[in-house]
Amino acid sequence: MANPPLKGVISYPITPFDTVTGEVDLAALSRLTEDLVAAGSHAVAPLGSTGESAYLREDEWDAVCETTLQTVAKRVPTLVGVSHWSTEGTVRRARVAARNGATAIMVLPQVYWQLTEAELERHYAAVAAATDLPLMLYNNPGTSGVDLRPETVVALARKIPNLTMVKESSGDVARFRAIRELSDGALSVYNGNNPVALEAFRSGAVGWCTASPCLVPRWALELYAAATGGDDERADAILAELLPFLQFIVGYGLPRAIKAGLQIQDREAGYPRTPLLPLPDKETERLQEMLDHLSAHPLVDSTA
C-alpha cells in the first residue's frame, strides 16, 4: 500500500482488572491508554493477546473497546483485535469496533479445529464484509496453531479487497519481503515478534506491534526512529540493550510480564485473569533489574 493507515510503533495496552472484584478496571484502562498516547505511540491496538481478549466476557470486551477508543479520541490511529472462535463472534466484534470509531481491525484465525483454506477464506471474507474498515490479517502460529504462509496470505488478500495489512509474528524475517513481493507491494507488513524488530524494519516492515511501550516507550520509539532514519549503528546499539527485555516479556507471556512491570512502576494494572497467574517473585526481580537498567541507561535520555 502506498499510504497504509498504520505505521510506526503500534502499542498494545493490557486490560487491567480490579484486585478485589476481578472485574475490568475501566478507569485504570483509560489511564494506561492515555500514557501510551502521551508517550508518543504512533497507534494503539487494544484487545490482542496482551489485552487478554480471550478471557473477557462479551460485555467486558465491548466496554474495553469503547473505553480505549474514547480515550484515544482519534489522536492516533487505533487497531482493534476482533478475533473470536466463531465467524459470528468475530463479525459482531468487528461491528462494535467500527461503531466506536476504530481505524482498522485485526483478525487472528483463533481456532480449535484446523481450518481448511476454503474455511479461512470464508471466515476472513465474512469479517471483511461486516465493515468498511481496513483489515489486518494476523499470523501467529505460536498461539493460534495455524501458520498462514506468504502464498496463502497473498491469495486471501487478492479475494478480499479490504484485507490490506499483515501482522507477521512467526519470527521468520524472510516473510516480510516475501509478502511484499508476492503482493506487488499491495500488502503492508507489520512485525509482531519483538526480538526481530530491527531485522523486520530492515526487511520492509512498516510497523511494529508491541506491548513494550507499556513499560519502556522511549526505547521502542528510539529503536523505530533509528531503524527508519538510516542510523544503523544507533539502531544496533539500542537493540543490544533492549533485546534481553524483549526476550523476557515474550518468554514469560505478555500479560504476566507487562502487568508485573506496571506494578514495579507503581501503576495500577491488577493481575492476569485465571488461568493465568502473576509472574513469580524470582522472575519479577529479574524484570525489575532490567527496567532499572534501561531507566538508568543514557540512551533513554538521548532525544530529550
- Give the start-to-end residue ranges of the domains of the chain: 8-235
Annotated binding site for pyruvate: 50
The mean per-residue pLDDT over the stretch 1-11 comes to: 84
Cα separation, 234 vs 213, whole angstroms: 19
Q: What residues are paired with 191 via a beta bridge?
A: 168, 208
Cα separation, 19 vs 25, whole angstroms: 9
Q: What residues are paired with 17 via a beta bridge?
A: 24
Active site residue 124: no
Annotated binding site: 50
Q: What predicted TM-score, i.e. pTM, was given to this entire model?
A: 0.95
CB 85 within 8 A of CB 110: yes
85 Ramachandran zone, left/alpha/beta (phi>0; psi -120 to 50): alpha
Active site residue 12: no
How wide is the angle at C-alpha 167 spanned by C-alphas 283 and 104, nearest 5°?
110
Among 7, 12, 124, 167, the active-site one is 167
Cα separation, 126 vs 115, whole angstroms: 15
Tell me the three state secondary structure of residue 36: helix
Q: Tell me the CATH number for domain 8-235.
A: 3.20.20.70
**Complete edge-to-edge strand list for the sheet that includes strand 8-11:** 43-44, 8-11, 207-210, 188-191, 163-168, 135-139, 104-107, 79-81
Cα separation, 301 vs 149, whole angstroms: 40
Pairing of strands 135-139, 188-191: unpaired
Q: What is the pLDDT of residues 235-251, one digit of tens each?
A: 999 999 999 999 999 99
Tell me the three state secondary structure of residue 119: helix
**What's the Cα-to-Cα distance from 15 to each of 31, 50, 115, 159, 272, rounded to whole Å?**
11, 8, 29, 34, 9
Q: What is the pLDDT of residues 28-78, one digit of tens each?
A: 999 999 999 999 999 999 999 999 999 999 999 999 999 999 999 999 999
CB 180 within 8 A of CB 205: no
Q: What is the pLDDT of residues 189-234, one digit of tens each?
A: 999 999 999 999 999 999 999 999 999 999 999 999 999 999 999 9
Q: What residues are paired with 160 via a beta bridge?
A: none
CB 208 within 8 A of CB 190: yes
E strand intervals along 104-219: 104-107, 135-139, 163-168, 188-191, 207-210
pLDDT at 144: 67
The values of phi and psi at residue 146, to 5°, are -120, 125
pLDDT at position 112 over 80 = no
Q: Please, what is the average pLDDT of the chain?
A: 94
Among 12, 124, 138, 252, the active-site one is 138
pLDDT at 2: 52
Cα separation, 265 vs 255, whole angstroms: 15
Tell me the three state secondary structure of residue 142: helix
